[in-house]
Amino acid sequence: MPNVISPDGSIRQDNWVVVPRPAEGESLDIPADQPALIPADLWLAGYEHFTGRQDIGVWFDSHDEPEILDGRVNELPVIAVNFPKFSDGRGYSIGRLLRERFGYVNELRAIGDVLLDQLQFMKRCGFDAYVLRADKDITKAQKCLNFFSQGYQAATDTEIPLFRRRAS
Amino acid sequence: MYVYDEHDRQMAAERVAQFRDQTERALAGELAEDEFLPLRLQNGLYVQRLAPMLRICVPYGMMRSDQLRRLARITRDYDKGYAHFTTRQNVQLNWPALEDVPDILAELAEVEMHANQTSGNCIRNTTTDQFSGVQSDEIADPRPYCEIIRQWSTFHPEFAFLPRKFKVAVNASEHTDRAAIQVHDIGLQMVRNEAGELGFRVHVGGGLGRTPMVGPVIRQFLPELDLLTYLEAVLRVYNRYGRRDNKFKARIKILVKALTPEGFAEKVEAEWQHIKDSPTRLTPEAVQRIQAYFTEPDYAVLDNATDLLASQRFENRGFDQWLTHNVDTHKKPGYAIVTLTMKKTGTPPGDVSDKQLEQIADLADEFSFGEVRVTHQQNVVLADVRQDRLLELWQAITPMDFGTANLNTLTDVICCPGGDYCALANAKSIPVAEAIQRQFDDLDYLYDLGNIDLNISGCMNACGHHHVGNIGVLGVDKKGQEFYQISLGGSSHHDASIGKILGPSFARDEMPQVISKIIDVYVDKRTEEETFLDTYRRVGIDPFKERVYA
């Protein structure tokens, strides 16, 4: 069961399973007794079957286009974004688009190569659940989420950039 | 000049605390080397051939005298007593110890300096014309816009892990481009539209490195207040679609080329439509607030000191030469712009000692309202010097070796640190610069040759901007031996162009002779008014080829 970090640094456990993309010709291996995150395009392909299920969420890989879910994002209880390598920054754009453009309000989870020093960026880009890579010290997450008390720019967490806050 | 408020100070202090924590975790083995790498790079820290190297940010080249003095102290306390002015208007220390870097950053933060994003795959220091605010032909002072971009790009959460580094430059002069904007990832040329409104012409996808390119225009007019939302759209398109599979194909220029400039522009416009009216859109008040930091200093009301200077020149030939070459026209009567050259033969271009940093600080206080500007040609500008004190200034700087009257001539070489310091370099660059400076030590001959940009890079990464040198020199490695490839005809100005390779490369000891032959061809072929670049563009590369490889 993954440990999931919240934006305030607190830690909880849940049992969402990330179902990998099946190989060509194979079908999705969804566990019977656990909530599952499946590739977003496959959720869409099986929409009739999956819609309305609170135990099925989706995940995007960093090269995927979140645009495919436009208009349907809030039908999902959880959307995850995979960071295949911590230095792959595409997931930050995906996070902001899901929140700020498509109006997604439920849980946005960072999965994959999620390290302590990237948490602050994920938080600002709309992620509110982080599954830290297993070998990292989860007790340091709270500190690493809170090095900065503010930012210069608008992002998902602050709609108003500093230059507008200064003016008021 | 921009002054921090409580928000800037707080974030600077938080950044130092964060990097201190990261360094501790790295030293304790909690961060793998590749995990610490982008963190330290985004705090300016490289690990180079001989030691770590710390690149300290000088936002758009502006520095105050107290900051120079602090730098001098840092080089003494933590390094070997000298620093290096880079081709990105920044300052580098060559020998700091890894564990000292958090303390160095804390000392910098005390004087409103930092090393944020001076390296790594993020948005780097925004650069501009070193004569901003003091020249008469600029559309508007570009520095407030550079500061606005600096704040927007600092710790930007979405763009901290781009496919590759990202450099923005702003130019405001109508007739010259000292910021080389067309060889940047984004080049912003300030313009006014037909209605007289202020805005930017946006070039995207210029760059040097392995695939040199002049950046095409993707938008002819971007209204001033739309600056940040449009930059955000460009960066988002790049962050999402730039190549990440091959480091050498990851710069935005490759994406722009693959999509075509028109195709890229369409993608940006589509993205921008969604965010152009978001709160990130600038307000007139926000721009005015930053502009208020870049007001004119307390100039005296003066006339031009034409007669005085004429008689001083007449009496002193050295002063006369210096005035002609290293002093530029100021927008205010009675003032002048002085460039201190850091290019004395025998000293690596851009290198300064702690003592010299303090001397520059003293000169700034005494002659130029306590401020200096670092140029991408690795020199230092005193932007506001009274004309009636130029002789006094010249007399003061001559013994300090800042008065070499070779600005913009062949020996005002742009040069990267090269194989003497840099782990990436294929070849040394500094000894080549020095050999050429020695070969051409006759100032009168240099003046006769006129403006020639000679740019030297020790490797393909092109920190010495060799592609845009009128004469470019690139260090290459041939079976473990250092060789040098020459290109001709590059320019970083409004008429930007990428130089053409002359032919097979040369050994280091051949270089002064080869450069001499190239210069001889120019002297033979030129008409009276032609610069080196004019002649090259008229006669082409063949006459040079024939002479050099004869």
pLDDT of B542 > 80? The answer is: yes
**What is the average pLDDT value for chain A, to the nearest integer?**
96
Question: B489-494: which pairs have CB atoms within 8 A and are 24 or more residues apart?
Answer: B489/B533, B489/B536, B489/B537, B489/B541, B490/B453, B490/B455, B490/B466, B491/B453, B491/B533, B492/B177, B492/B180, B492/B182, B492/B183, B492/B453, B492/B465, B492/B468, B493/B176, B493/B177, B493/B178, B493/B180, B494/B175, B494/B176, B494/B177
Q: Which candidate from B5, B11, B157 shows the least CB-CB separation from A125?
A: B157
Encoding tokens for residue B52? 């770590």
pLDDT of B197 > 90? The answer is: yes
* Interchain CB distance below 8 Å, A152 and B11: yes
* Interchain CB distance below 8 Å, A89 and B151: no
Encoding tokens for residue A41? 């395009």
CATH classification code of B306-400: 3.90.480.20
How confident is residue A23, by pLDDT bands cut at 50, 70 and 90?
very high
**What is the average pLDDT value for chain B, to the nearest integer?**
93
Encoding tokens for residue B212? 């040199």
CB atoms within 10 A of CB A107: 18
Encoding tokens for residue B122? 């993020």
Q: Does A139 touch chain B (CB under 8 A)?
A: no
CATH architecture, domain B135-293: 2-Layer Sandwich (3.30)
* Interchain CB distance below 8 Å, B279 and A160: yes
Torsions phi, psi of B532, nearest 5? -55, -45
Q: Does B48 touch chain A (CB under 8 A)?
A: no
Residues of B in contact with A115 (CB under 8 A): 35
- ipTM for this prediction: 0.97
pLDDT at B18: 98
**Strand B127-128 vs strand B168-171: parallel, antiparallel, or unpaired?**
parallel
The parent domain of residue A100 ranges over: 3-167
Sorted by where each begins, the domain ranges of chain B are: 6-110, 135-293, 306-400, 414-548
Chain A, chain B: beta-carbon pairs less than 8 Å apart: 109
In the chain, the amino acid numbered B234 is V
Number of domains in chain A: 1
Cα separation of B177 and B201, whole Å? 13
**pLDDT above 70 covers what percent of chain B?**
99
Please write the tens of the pLDDT for every residue from B488-524: 999 988 888 999 999 999 999 999 999 999 999 999 9
Q: Which candidate from A89, A90, A148 shows the least CB-CB separation from B155?
A: A148
- Cβ B216 vs Cβ B204: under 8 Å: yes
In Å, the largest CA–CA distance within chain B is 69
The CATH topology of domain B6-110 is Sulfite Reductase Hemoprotein; domain 2 (3.90.480)
Q: Which is more confident, B460 or A105?
A: A105
Average pLDDT over residues B247-251: 93
CATH architecture, domain B414-548: 2-Layer Sandwich (3.30)
Average pLDDT over residues B240-262: 96
pLDDT at B300: 96
Q: Which candidate from A120, A154, A163 shows the least CB-CB separation from B286?
A: A163
pLDDT at B388: 97
Cα separation of A91 and A84, whole Å? 9
Average pLDDT over residues B475-495: 90
Task: Show the CA angle centred on residue B204, arms to residues B198 and B210, nearest 5°.
Answer: 145
- Same fold? B135-293, B414-548: yes
Q: Does A67 touch chain B (CB under 8 A)?
A: no
* Interchain CB distance below 8 Å, A92 and B240: no
Cα separation of B109 and B104, whole Å? 9
How confident is residue B104, by pLDDT bands cut at 50, 70 and 90?
very high
Distances (CA, A) of B204 to B182, B189, B259, B355, B481: 8, 11, 12, 41, 37
Please write the tens of the pLDDT for every residue from B32-58: 999 999 999 999 998 766 668 999 999
Return the minimum-mean-pLDDT range out of B109-113, B243-247, B428-432.
Answer: B428-432
